[in-house]
Structure 1
Amino acid sequence: MKAFLGMGLLGSNFVKAMRQRGEEVNVWNRTKSRADALEAFGAKAFENAADAVKGADLIHITLKDDATVNEVLELASTGFKPGAIIIDHTTTSTHGAIERTQNWKARGIIYLHAPVFMGPPNALEGSGSMLVSGDQAIIEKVSPELNKMTGKLINLGATEGKAASIKLIGNSFLIAMTTGIIDMLGVAKSLGVSTDDVNELFANWNPGAMMPARLKKISGGNFDQPSWELQMARKDAGLMLAAAAEANVHLAALSAIAAVMDNWISKGFATSDWTVIGSDNL
């Protein structure tokens, strides 16, 4: 028997998938009605987290943040059986994941951080990616369980907390990419270009194919052989910002980036590759 704490969109769909596989699952949520809703799928809902985990060999959690994870695990702790394994799918800090691994080990409980690049549909259909790192014997033991839950289980090695770090790195890119899409649509609106035309552009042009080469170029730190000079990129950014201002459209990401470009131009890097603006991060 297993338990699942945290019945948000992701946790609820993980539980539904478990029930589709015929697995017995106890569920708990701070707002009990969300846990109660899973009883229609054959899960058993509990008022108290400690009762939900009694007898469970595996305890999955999907919660909000470090503080919530710590609070809920402490609430549930009186119900943990010796040798129980906690598998935490919450996006947390690296420090928090390392600290919990050590603290629960000292209390005779295994804690494994397994954050995901998965949305609710992925959780229901067992697709997307799940990350793990740390004690390889533990990971080997729970891999059959985790492989059922995701399309790809990515083992990042023995370093505690690395899964948490990689999840944050990936999410930083997703936020930047999505903000870029929002700004792009703002530029399109400013220029009177329809979203259908934007979709058509990306049906014929895949900038994602540039990602590996661009990552290699930036991480290599060579900005003296530009493929797009900073001053020219800033000129183009100015055209976009001017069109947006005229249409009363705010470009949140581009406005911030333009300010960074201006700073680097003032320091004498106008003819460098424009990605020099990120060199302080290398």
Structure 2
Amino acid sequence: MKAFLGMGLLGSNFVKAMLQKGEAVQIWNRTASKAKALETFGAKAFDDVSEAVKDADVIHLTLKDDAAVDEVLKNASGGLKAGAAIIDHTTTSAKGAIERTNAWKAKGFTYLHAPVFMGPKNALEGSGVMLVSGNQDIIKKFQPELSAMTGTLLNLGDIEGKAAGIKLTGNLFLLSLTAGLADALALAKAHDITADEIQNLFSVWNPGAGAPARLKKITSGTFSQPSWELNMARKDAGLMMNAADEAGSRLITTPAIAAVMDEWIAKGHGNDDWSVIAKNNI
């Protein structure tokens, strides 16, 4: 028997996928109506979270944050089956994941943090990426179950909390990517360039494809052989900001990037590759 706590877009589709495979799933959600809606698919919904976890050997969670996970598990604890395993797919802090792993182990339960790079469609289809780290015996035990939930189960080794840290790092890049696209659209609008034209550009010239090579260049620590000098990159940033200002368009990230560029130019790195601005983070 499985239980699943948290029926948001991700959790509800994880449950639907389990039900399609013929698994019995007991579910709970803070807003009870979201759980009740899944009874038509074969799930058994409970208003009381401690009732939802009764007799469950494995309890999956997709909640909001550390505080929500701690609160829900505390409320569910009275109904937990002895020796049950808690598998948490919530994006949380690494510190919180480590603390929960140790705290629940001391109580006689298994806690495994397994955050995901998956959207609702991935959860339903069993595609995307799931991350795990920590006790390898535990990971090996649950690998078949977790692999069935995702396209790729990425085992990051035996360090507790690493999965949480890498998940947050990946999400940070997604935030930066989206903010960068927002800036690109704002600048395009300032030049009367349509979003479709930018889409067409990226279909021919895909800047995202260069991310691995750019990361390798940054981490090499060698900036003296530039492909784009910092002085020239800063000049271009100035042109971007001026054009946006004149059109009344708002740039989100470019002004902050320009400020960091100015700091490195002031340190005498104007002729280095512009990626020198990441030097202190290596």
Cα offset, 1:180, TM superposition: 0.7
Counterpart check, 1:171 vs 2:171: yes
**Where do 1:36-47 residues align within 5 Å?**
36-47=36-47
Secondary structure at 2:268 match in 1? coil
Structure 1 residues 56-135: aligned runs within 5 Å:
56-135=56-135
| Cα distance per residue 1:95-134 (max 9 Å; x no partner) | 1101100000000000000000001111011110000111
Q: Map of 1:177-196 to 2, 5 A cutoff?
A: 177-196=177-196
Give, in whole Å, the separation in 2 of the partners of 1:184 and 1:138. 45
Distance 1:67 1:231 in 2: 45
AA of the residue aligned to 1:253: T
SS in 2 for 1:130: strand
In the aligned structure 2, how far is the partner of 1:19 from the partner of 1:126? 13
- Quote the residue 2:278 is aligned against: 278
Matched residue SS, 2:253 = helix
* 2:136 corresponds to: 136
Q: How does 1:118-267 map to 2 (within 5 A)?
A: 118-267=118-267
1:6 aligns with 2:6: yes
What amino acid maps onto 2:212 in structure 1?
Answer: P
Separation of aligned partners in 1, 2:173 and 2:113: 21
Mean CA deviation greater in 104-113 or 158-167? 158-167
In structure 1, C-alpha distance between the alignment counterparts of 2:262 and 2:157, rounded to whole Å: 41
CA apart distance, 1:203: 1.3
Question: How far is 1:258 from its partner?
Answer: 0.9
CA separation in 2, counterparts of 1:208 and 1:256? 21
Give the aligned residue type for 1:131. L
Q: Look up the SS of the partner of 1:91 in the other structure.
A: coil
Shift of 1:254: 0.6
Task: State the Cα deviation string for residues 236-260 of structure 1 (Å, max 9, x = none).
Answer: 0111111111110011111111111
Query: CA offset at residue 209 of structure 1?
Result: 2.5
Determine the structure 2 residue equivalent to 1:269.
Answer: 269
Question: 3-state DSSP class of the match of 1:131?
Answer: strand
Task: Work out the CA distance in 1 between the residues paired with 2:63 and 2:253.
Answer: 29
Question: Partners of 2:78 and 2:51 in 1: how far apart?
Answer: 9
TM-score by length of 1: 0.98
Q: Which moved more, 1:252-261 or 1:263-272?
A: 263-272
After the TM superposition, which segments of 4 or more aligned residues of structure 1 sit over 3 Å from their partners? none
Separation in 2, partners of 1:11, 1:213: 35
1:23 corresponds to which residue?
23
Aligned-residue sequence identity (percent) comes to 66
Counterpart CA distance in 2 for 1:157 and 1:263 is 38
Q: Name the CA distance, whole Å, in 1 between partners of 2:225 and 2:203.
A: 31
Alignment partners' CA distance in 2, 1:59 and 1:259: 47
TM-score by length of 2: 0.98
Following the alignment from structure 1 to structure 2, what is the Cα–Cα distance between the partners of residues 176 and 238? 20
Offset at 1:228? 0.8
Deviations 1:55-100 (A, max 9, x none): 0001000001111101100100011111100000000111110110
Displacement of 1:267 in angstroms is 2.1
Provide the alpha-carbon RMSD of the alignment: 0.9
SS of 2:224's partner is coil
- How many Å apart are 1:263 and its aligned residue? 1.7
Deviations 1:38-57 (A, max 9, x none): 11111011011100000000
Matched letter for residue 126 of structure 1: G
Unaligned runs of 5+ in 2: none
Gaps of 5+ in 1: none
One-letter amino acid matched to 1:9:
L
